[in-house]
Structure 1
Amino acid sequence: MTEPDDPLGVWTGRLLRLGVGISPDEARRFVHDLYAQAQSDLDEERAEADFKREE
């Protein structure tokens, strides 16, 4: 299920080991969405910090 260069695979596997009732596809989508949102939040924080430095 996971490839060596697949950062989402590790977290998907961890999520699947937490309990039953979630399919591997659903777990992977959840991890992907969570990762994308976290990356977006970090990008916003960096942009805000850059803006404050330039003021």
Structure 2
Amino acid sequence: MAEEQADPLAAWTARLLGLGTGISPEDADAFVRDLYAHAQSDLDEERAEADFVREE
């Protein structure tokens, strides 16, 4: 049976927490997930625009 894949964002959350004190693990996790979602949305928009330009 294949091993379960680890959460790829967990490493980024750990890195953020390692930068210093003052942020809770929950807030760090929420920040990383929100940042990832926004970055993914931006990439999706760029891809859609590039596809549109290619089709013209």
State whether TM-score is above 0.5. Answer: yes
Aligned residue in 2 for 1:31: 32
Per the alignment, residue 50 of structure 2 pairs with: 49
Identity percentage over the alignment? 74
Give the secondary-structure state (helix, strand or coil) at the position aligned to 1:19: coil
Where does structure 2 lack aligned partners over 5 or more consecutive residues?
none
Q: Which amino acid aligns with 1:11?
A: W
- Please say which structure displays the higher CA radius of gyration: 2
Length, aligned pairs only: 53
The letter of the residue matching 1:17 is G
After TM superposition, the runs of 4+ consecutive aligned structure 1 residues lying more than 4 A away are none
Q: Residue in 1 aligned with 2:16?
A: 15
Question: What TM-score results when the alignment is normalised by the length of structure 2?
Answer: 0.90
Tell me which residue corresponds to 1:6.
7
What is the TM-score when the length of structure 1 is the normalising length? 0.92
